[in-house]
Amino acid sequence: MCSTTIEQVLIRIREEFPGATTTFTPDGTGGGSVVIEPVDIGTRYAPTATWFGAHLSHALPFADVYPLFIGSNVVRKDGAAHQAPITVGHTFANRPALQVSKRTNNLLATPEGAALKFTKVLHYIKEVAP
Amino acid sequence: MNRNVRLLFSPPVFKAVQKHLFPGDNCEHAGVLLCGWNERADRITLTANEFQPARDGIDYTVSPEFHGRLQPLFIEDALSKAKERRLSYVAIHNHMACDSVSFSQVDMASHEYGYPTLSRLNRGLPVGAAVFGTSSIEVDIWMPGGKRHSLETARVVDQWIRHLWSSPRFAPQVAYDEQFDRQLPFLRNAGLGLIAEAIVGIVGLGGLGSQLIEPLVRLGFRRFVLLDPDRMDRSNYSRVHGSLPIDLPASSKPGNLKVEIAKRLILAIAPDATVDAQPLDVARGDAHQCLLGCDFVFLAADTAEARLTCNALVHQYYIPMVQIGTKVHIDTNGVLHGVFGAVRQLRPGKGCLWCNGLIDRVALADSGKTQTQRDNERYGADAPSPSVVAFNAEVAGRALNDFLRHYATPQPSFGPFYEYSMLDLLAGEREFVEARADEQCSFCSASNSSSSHGRSGGSQVPIVGL
């Protein structure tokens, strides 16, 4: 079971990532974990596609979607180590993961805002991350 | 007829009503207020959400006998909006009166003729009327089921809270008591009456909230609602006012509840006080409903969940509130950078914690996660949160002074008001900050149709605690 807000967030996520499979696992509080895969993370990384996930709090749409995770096998093609806010050594939904710790305090408190967080962080990983 | 209705206004709605009813022509004018409403502890509270002015000669006509009347199409339009938004319908007009106003016999006869039908049409929602003098209001509210109620008090919940009655004889009165003699010149009998009748809520009875208790009781406040789920811990002992060695945890028992310690302190000073001590988190379940009858609330709990819930109560139920906190900034090397206090006044449509980024959305995201998840996600060092009783006392004192000035004294002639006071407790300086307000805000914006502003009873308060 998940809240109506989270149902709406999941609908928007599926619209944002049409080619991917979106899997939601309820946590028993009204929220749960969502994993989207595959997601293209661009040519700076190998592999270029991975999974993308986050916990969706029952406190949505007021809560941030934070942090987000991608597969731990993702490495930079230039051979450099990941830099903060991408950190290693985490797990998410029983998967080894890299954590992407990007806070967003100014998105609208709507299901669209929550879904947009995934798009924004993906853009950060692909284009901005050091 | 029970005299138990509270009619609460945000300043813009009250200003619009006054401007329309009293344009200076000494004539009667009319309109409709659409109000959120809730019933609790034998009191009906109406929150004026929207004012629809009636156009003179079109929506509001006057007969040759000088009896005013709202036109059926205008009524139908307002009633249909009320039904659609689950609001109560209150037809208003004015009399040429000052601090004392009442319905005429013709008014009352028309209510008895029309309101049973309107009540049926506005299914399950209150309907009624209000008549305004320049400094007075009377209401005749018909609840679903047919019971009628008149005004206990009306308020304009601005930074300074304006209290109105149908007549000065309904203002709270207190007999002279030598105990309060030295504060009488400042507060006057009117202020002491307001204090004696007020129900004060305190959310969080820790190092800061507990500081409020004794001064409030000494001032004459006698009715309290206290919320805090926490028990005393040895590390709290240096800061929780009223705590005694017997309150500390021992091998045979946990520490005593902080609300019970506060209650004991109140009753030790004023055995006649009424204390509703709830060991509950305001952000869980329906605990916030304990606050719906409060006249003013001090928010001294520093969690994102409590801030979210209480911020919603201010804008939805028009409960005036002050959020208080202290912060000691020490870096990871132990260097002290400053000690700051915040006294943030929250009023309907003003001072919104959400608009000003003062509700930590990451902390909200953590709610619902397991401890293992949180540990796994920890990123950077969690700084310890220092707290010192002397700093708390200064912030509590500032909040109490503001509260007295805003709630129980005649309108201050000085200004302008700023919603937030930021105190530099080491430098002894104070900075005033004008709070932002976002037109799209789902809590405080009156212009956003999906906002819960003024929708008491018609919209759910966000509860994020489990």
Instruction: Classify each residue of B430-457 as buried b or exposed e, where b means 16 or more C-beta atoms within 10 Å of its C-beta.
Output: eeeeebebbeebbbbbbeeeebbbbbbb
Return the sign of the alpha-carbon dihedral for residues A91, A92, A97, A103: negative
The reply to whether residue A62 touches residue B376, judged by beta carbons under 8 angstroms, is no
* Distance (Å) from the alpha carbon of A48 to chain B's nearest alpha carbon: 24
Closest CB to B365 among A29, A64, A106 = A64
Angle made by CA atoms B80, B84, B88, in degrees to the nearest 5: 75
* Distance (Å) from the alpha carbon of A65 to chain B's nearest alpha carbon: 6
CA distances from B68 to B86, B141, B440 (A): 27, 19, 38
pLDDT digits (tens, 9 = 90+) for A47-61: 999 999 999 998 899
Closest CB to B362 among A27, A66, A84 = A66
Alpha-helical (H) ranges within B233-284 are 258-269
* Distance (Å) from the alpha carbon of A17 to chain B's nearest alpha carbon: 22
Q: Are B248 and B298 within 8 A, CB to CB?
A: no
Largest CA distance in chain B: 84
Q: Are B267 and B293 within 8 A, CB to CB?
A: no
pLDDT reported for residue B332: 80
The reply to whether residue A62 touches residue B379, judged by beta carbons under 8 angstroms, is no
Provide the ipTM: 0.87
Strands ordered across the beta sheet of B274-278? B274-278, B223-227, B199-203, B296-299, B321-330, B336-346, B420-424, B429-433
Closest CB to A101 among B357, B367, B379 = B379
Written as six digits, the tokens of B318 are 């028009």
Q: Are B443 and B409 within 8 A, CB to CB?
A: no
Residue-wise DSSP of B403-460: HHHHHSSSPPS-----SEEEEETTTTEEEEEPPP--TT-TTT-SS-TTS-TT-TTTSP
Q: What is the mean pLDDT of residues A64-83?
A: 93
pLDDT reported for residue A27: 87
Q: Are B377 and B358 within 8 A, CB to CB?
A: no
- Are β-strands A68-71 and B429-433 bridged in parallel, bridged antiparallel, or unpaired? unpaired
pTM, rounded to two decimals? 0.92
pLDDT reported for residue B415: 67
Instruction: Report the distance separating Cα B396 and Cα B204, nearest Å.
Output: 13
Q: What is the mean pLDDT of each run of 10 residues along chain B (466 residues)?
A: 94 97 95 94 92 96 87 95 92 96 95 90 89 97 92 96 96 90 89 96 97 97 98 95 97 96 98 98 93 96 94 95 94 88 96 94 86 77 74 96 92 77 94 92 86 76 61
Return the sign of the alpha-carbon dihedral for residues B249, B250, B256, B262: negative
Q: At what angle do helices B72-84 and B105-121 cross, to 10 degrees?
A: 50
Instruction: Report the distance separating Cα A23 and Cα A35, nearest Å.
Output: 5
Written as six digits, the tokens of A66 are 């934070």
Instruction: Report the distance separating Cα B242 and Cα B18, nearest Å.
Output: 46
Q: Are B298 and B321 within 8 A, CB to CB?
A: yes
Question: Which of chain A's residues have a Cβ under 8 Å away from the Cβ of B466?
Answer: 29, 58
Angle made by CA atoms B17, B21, B25, in degrees to the nearest 5: 150
Test the B interface: residue of A5, A6, A55, A62 with most B CBs within 10 Å = A62
C-alpha B409: how far from chain center = 17
Closest CB to B364 among A29, A64, A108 = A64
Instruction: Report the distance separating Cα B303 and Cα B289, nearest Å.
Output: 18
In this structure, the dihedral spanned by the alpha carbons of residues B154, B157, B163 and B167, taken in order and rounded to 10 degrees, is -30
pLDDT reported for residue A130: 79
The reply to whether residue B361 touches residue A62, judged by beta carbons under 8 angstroms, is yes
- Assign A39 a pLDDT band (cuts: 50, 70, 90): very high
CB burial class (10 A; 0-12, 13-18, 19+) of residue B27? middle
Q: Is A104 on the interface with B (CB under 8 A)?
A: yes
pLDDT reported for residue B349: 93
- Are β-strands A68-71 and A49-56 bridged in parallel, bridged antiparallel, or unpaired? antiparallel
Which residues on neighbouring strands pair with residue B9, listed in sequence order?
B48, B156
